[in-house]
Structure 1
Amino acid sequence: MVAMIASACINWVAATIKMISLTSSPSYHDATMHHRFQVSSRAVDGGFGKVGPSEGGDQTARSEVSTAPLNPLGRRTCCRGGAKRRGGDEMKIEEVQSASKKQRIATHTHIKGLGLDANGNAIPLSAGFVGQGSAREAAGIVVDMIRQKKMAGRALLLAGPPSTGKTALALGISQDLGSKVPFCPMVGSEVYSSEVKKTEVLMENFRRAIGLRIKETKEVYEGEVTELSPEESENSTGGYGKSISHIIIGLKTVKGTKQLKLDPTIYDALIKEKVAVGDVIYIEANSGAVKRVGRCDAFATEFDLEAEEYVPIPKGEVHKKKEIVQDVTLHDLDAANAHPQGGQDILSLMGQMMKPRKTEITDKLRQEINKVVNRYIDEGIAELVPGVLFIDEVHMLDIECFSYLNRALESSISPIVIFATNRGICNVRGTDMTSPHGIPVDLLDRLVIIRTETYGPTEMIQILAIRAQVEEIDIDEDSLAYLGEMGQQASLRHAIQLLSPASIVAKTNGRDKICKADLEEVTSLYLDAKSSARLLQEQQERYIT
């Protein structure tokens, strides 16, 4: 029995060795490749050919074969016929949708500026604005005064009926000023809080609207990280642990490369910024601060979906003197000094974990910060940038807030204040006194008033066409004219709000373009404010009063 088993094992080993030697020979591979990829003469001439046994078995597949050249494996590089999977299903190729973030469409997304020419004259249809020529020209003069820093401490009032573009005018001013000039919008009702005083909320927004541009010349090392290797050494205190003695980092720019030996304290900053090879960083020579600018654009095609910000490789030398410009607001300085980072004791940690209660910033702290700011301005280190504080619905403020605004506008550090209201002659909140726009007369004397006019039918149709284009809605001319009539009867806001429902109704009915019938159906479903008020008067006995 044992002899039979030994003989069988010897025969199996001999057969295996023979098979290995046979398959390793070039003639075997040539014969196998020729058998697998044998194509008939009809296939070469452009007809259909029968492909030999595939890797999956003896099944044959018929496909249209082109006369394209064979690759080194004998397979053709292109095929006019549909590609087939092993199971016989067609292979599907789908495009990957872009993951770029779309801008959210808001009420004033279409406003890109005031729409003025080089001479300050209003272009009839420009930057998203339609009409309001005199108001836009007056706002353009205000923008020029703000740029020349001659408007600080002054106030402006935008007055007009509802839906006449007062908020759009203020946003147009902010767009023309640019992102470097602080623009702080707020609503009059924001001042009422159970935690802080009304005047404190006003002062916070005042300081948010005042910018400080700090310029400082620093020696920096800037470039793309080509090497990042921490060097370890034996722990001086003994034991088995090791400590980092220094970090070797390589930086590359367009002009050259440098290898730096950094202090081990910078290693924590590198970890905090999540610096890796291929990132563009700069290191301040004096303080050792590390700033990660972004990922080098040479790696932009590394991944399809990436949330990184890609930047070009820096120009010039690795070691350079760079002017660092920081734009902060006075409120940022107030908040940083009022809430400093706590210690490491248990009470400080518990206080940071608990929900902080909003506290007021004292006048003493603000005065100290003003002294430091004035010293920086005198030394030429910093530059004061008066911004814009926009208070919408200013009639919601009470007499105490108006009294505080009188004093705040006269202070040495104050921004440009723009008020907006749609009220006529009404009571000043908190008093029985009647005044134009709900603002006390003593504050009205300090204001320059810009009036906005009601839009006509043609202007409403143009605004509706712009909104339809922004919201990517297709609508015909008759529907725009019908919407313009709705805007005249009800309001422009109501007409704009009917665009999206009408688009959904049109798609439900199998159309890509909105027609008049879709708008009539939507109008029958949704009431405007005037129609609702008329129904309330007719059926007031059915409602609880």
Structure 2
Amino acid sequence: MKATTTPSTSAPVAHNALPPPSASSTARSSRIAPHSHIKGLGLTAEGLAAPDSAGFIGQTNAREACGVVVDLIKSRKFSGRALLLVGAPGTGKTALALAVSHELGVKVPFCPMVGSEVYSTEVKKTEVLAEAFRRAIGLRIKETKEVYEGEVTELTPTESENPLSGYGKTVSHVIVGLKTVKGTKQLRLDPTIYEAILKEKIVVGDVIYVEANTGAVKRVGRSDAYASSYDLESETYVPLPKGDVHKRKELVQDVTLGDLDAANARPQGGQDIMSVMGSLMKSGRTEVTDKLRREVNKVVKGYVDQGVAEVVPGVVFIDEVHMLDIECFTYLNALLESPMAPTVILATNRGNALVRGTADIVSPHGIPVDLLDRCLIVKTDGYNREQIGKVVQLRANIEGLKLGPGVLEQIAEEGERGSMRYALQLLAPASILSGLAGRSQIEVEDIGETNELFLNAKTSAGNIDPEGGFDGGRMW
């Protein structure tokens, strides 16, 4: 029988977290991102924030405010505006932006960027912003095609004499038998389709579909009637298709306007070796002209009017937005007013600051007042010791680390004294030290040793000589 693993339904408790995967594990371990635990805003049906839900700890006011923004976006009443998240570093601004995109849907494009990304040496600042906006606008193309679908029961090429030569034979046609739950059908197909069948390495027992208009052949997988009892299998088994062999099938494809711009901006060239080498020598990033974008918009509008495609506005998240200059802010105003604008979420940790690119304009968060007027501003709050402890425990569970008695309290105290980010960063080096000492879980002494090896931002600043002296390359 197949070896099956049943995932545990209950979350691991404080001192019984899942162990990290062993080096001998055959499964590929994926990188744990800083916001892997964020699954949504964690709101009730009434729009109220549960204290600890969907990976969030606290931040009830900010989450409820973002919930209102999500409702505005879904009802198409957020056009021409932006959401501005303000708060101290490490208070969850990026997590809130990611949660908003989760609430909008799985297939909604999410395009994050940092304010300093616009200062590229290859393209203009405005081009970087325009490209990010286009990548955050999705296009869901729905196409109804006539297809022949089923399990291959027969695959017989028929040969005939080659009319162009007296020697050798050529394939005149191929007989393909397809079977579904409802019935069977025998198809007589063109020899070019037989070449596609050979290229896809299709054999009897595979489930395939053939497009009636184009003749394109796609192998879906192996029929599950041929499924074996091996624990490790390289084959993908699919059930026998339902309905008739000949059917109308709706295919859905998701692309972004940025993908369409890039595909049309790239010169096609020839297929010879010189054309290929020439394309390799060219710069990888080119600017897309406004004329080309207008042409793409015209084609997209035609698809939407015909009912073939649907525009799916996504989310552009610009972190450290105070790094943009006055020219970028002016261009952002114009982009927000465009007919096909995505949802724009900005984030900053600055108070009153000089607007970059000006000499005397001081504005809240370093953003000009005319753009601030378009923003709904949400503030994130700091965390107390209890909330820091809950976040640390959540991350320990995600990273598969076991915490010994008293460890959570000590890390929470360090987080309150320094910052929550520093507290979270203690987990990984402490787990290394506990492993070197031969322990299976992080103990209090591992945290103490980690604190001796590494400094937080406040401790580091306090240990620097006021005169900034160096002695033989060593800083005092």
Q: TM-score, normalised by structure 1?
A: 0.78
**Per-residue deviation at 1:98?**
5.6
The aligned counterpart of 1:197 is: 124
The aligned counterpart of 2:192 is: 265
Instruction: Return the alpha-carbon distance in structure 2 between the equivalents of residues 98 and 243 of structure 1.
Output: 50
Instruction: Return the alpha-carbon distance in structure 2 between the equivalents of residues 228 and 201 of structure 1.
Output: 52
The aligned counterpart of 2:250 is: 323
The aligned counterpart of 1:488 is: 416
Contact 2:80 2:374 in 1 (8 A): no
Instruction: Return the alpha-carbon distance in structure 2 between the equivalents of residues 195 and 474 of structure 1.
Output: 47
The structure-2 alpha-carbon separation of the partners of 1:133 and 1:288, relative to structure 1 and needing over 3 Å to count, comes to: same
**Matched residue SS, 1:116:** coil
**Matched residue SS, 2:341:** coil
Instruction: Return the alpha-carbon distance in structure 1 between the equivalents of residues 336 and 123 of structure 2.
Output: 21
Q: Where do residues 118-267 of structure 1 align in structure 2 (5 Å cutoff)?
A: 118-267=45-194
**Matched residue SS, 1:334:** helix
The structure-2 alpha-carbon separation of the partners of 1:344 and 1:243, relative to structure 1 and needing over 3 Å to count, comes to: farther
Amino acid at match of 2:239: P
Contact 1:152 1:386 in 2 (8 A): no
Instruction: Return the alpha-carbon distance in structure 2 between the equivalents of residues 348 and 169 of structure 1.
Output: 47
Instruction: Return the alpha-carbon distance in structure 1 between the equivalents of residues 95 and 143 of structure 2.
Output: 37
Contact 1:99 1:305 in 2 (8 A): no
The structure-2 alpha-carbon separation of the partners of 1:306 and 1:189, relative to structure 1 and needing over 3 Å to count, comes to: farther
Instruction: Return the alpha-carbon distance in structure 1 between the equivalents of residues 391 and 379 of structure 2.
Output: 19
Moved more, 475-484 or 227-236: 227-236
Instruction: Return the alpha-carbon distance in structure 1 between the equivalents of residues 307 and 319 of structure 2.
Output: 36
Moved more, 272-281 or 160-169: 272-281
The aligned counterpart of 2:319 is: 392
**Matched residue SS, 1:435:** strand
1:373 pairs with 2:303: no
Contact 1:266 1:289 in 2 (8 A): yes
The structure-2 alpha-carbon separation of the partners of 1:355 and 1:259, relative to structure 1 and needing over 3 Å to count, comes to: farther
Instruction: Return the alpha-carbon distance in structure 2 between the equivalents of residues 236 and 458 of structure 1.
Output: 85
1:296 pairs with 2:223: yes
Q: Where do residues 84-99 of structure 1 align in structure 2 (5 Å cutoff)?
A: 99=26
1:542 pairs with 2:467: no
The structure-2 alpha-carbon separation of the partners of 1:298 and 1:423, relative to structure 1 and needing over 3 Å to count, comes to: farther
The aligned counterpart of 2:6 is: none
Amino acid at match of 2:322: H
The aligned counterpart of 1:413 is: 340
The aligned counterpart of 1:527 is: 455
Render the CA deviation track for 1:297-331: whole Å, top value 9, x for unaligned: 44554755445544333222221111112211111
Instruction: Return the alpha-carbon distance in structure 1 between the equivalents of residues 439 and 404 of structure 2.
Output: 12
Contact 2:137 2:257 in 1 (8 A): yes
**Matched residue SS, 2:464:** helix
CA-atom RMSD in angstroms: 2.3
The structure-2 alpha-carbon separation of the partners of 1:371 and 1:535, relative to structure 1 and needing over 3 Å to count, comes to: same
1:499 pairs with 2:427: yes
1:451 to 367, 379, 385: 379
Structure possessing the higher radius of gyration over alpha carbons: 1
Instruction: Return the alpha-carbon distance in structure 2 between the equivalents of residues 335 and 230 of structure 1.
Output: 41
The structure-2 alpha-carbon separation of the partners of 1:165 and 1:297, relative to structure 1 and needing over 3 Å to count, comes to: farther
The structure-2 alpha-carbon separation of the partners of 1:312 and 1:162, relative to structure 1 and needing over 3 Å to count, comes to: same
1:113 to 34, 40, 52: 40
The aligned counterpart of 1:436 is: 364
Contact 1:399 1:430 in 2 (8 A): yes
**Matched residue SS, 2:132:** helix
Instruction: Return the alpha-carbon distance in structure 2 between the equivalents of residues 345 and 506 of structure 1.
Output: 59
The aligned counterpart of 1:65 is: none
The structure-2 alpha-carbon separation of the partners of 1:141 and 1:319, relative to structure 1 and needing over 3 Å to count, comes to: same
Instruction: Return the alpha-carbon distance in structure 1 between the equivalents of residues 102 and 42 of structure 2.
Output: 10
| Identical positions, percent | 63
Instruction: Return the alpha-carbon distance in structure 1 between the equivalents of residues 206 and 279 of structure 2.
Output: 33
**Per-residue deviation at 1:131?**
0.2
The structure-2 alpha-carbon separation of the partners of 1:531 and 1:403, relative to structure 1 and needing over 3 Å to count, comes to: same
The structure-2 alpha-carbon separation of the partners of 1:335 and 1:480, relative to structure 1 and needing over 3 Å to count, comes to: same
Amino acid at match of 1:169: L
Contact 1:474 1:512 in 2 (8 A): yes
1:280 to 204, 207, 227: 207
Contact 2:140 2:255 in 1 (8 A): yes
Render the CA deviation track for 1:169-198: whole Å, top value 9, x for unaligned: 111112222222111111112222222111
**Matched residue SS, 2:208:** strand
1:509 pairs with 2:437: yes
Amino acid at match of 1:116: L
The aligned counterpart of 1:358 is: 285
The structure-2 alpha-carbon separation of the partners of 1:395 and 1:307, relative to structure 1 and needing over 3 Å to count, comes to: farther
**Matched residue SS, 1:513:** coil
1:104 pairs with 2:24: no
Render the CA deviation track for 1:472-506: whole Å, top value 9, x for unaligned: 11113511011001001111111111112212222
Contact 1:153 1:415 in 2 (8 A): no
Contact 1:158 1:451 in 2 (8 A): yes
1:473 to 395, 398, 401: 401
Q: TM-score, normalised by structure 2?
A: 0.88
**Per-residue deviation at 1:272?**
4.3
1:332 to 259, 264, 270: 259
Instruction: Return the alpha-carbon distance in structure 2 between the equivalents of residues 424 and 500 of structure 1.
Output: 32
Contact 1:149 1:386 in 2 (8 A): no
Q: Which has the higher contact order (CA 8 A, sep 6+)?
A: 2
The structure-2 alpha-carbon separation of the partners of 1:266 and 1:178, relative to structure 1 and needing over 3 Å to count, comes to: same
Amino acid at match of 2:245: V
Moved more, 111-120 or 159-168: 111-120
Instruction: Return the alpha-carbon distance in structure 1 between the equivalents of residues 168 and 160 of structure 2.
Output: 9
Ranges in structure 2 where 5+ consecutive residues have no aligned partner: 1-22
The aligned counterpart of 1:462 is: 390
Contact 1:461 1:480 in 2 (8 A): yes
**Matched residue SS, 1:247:** strand
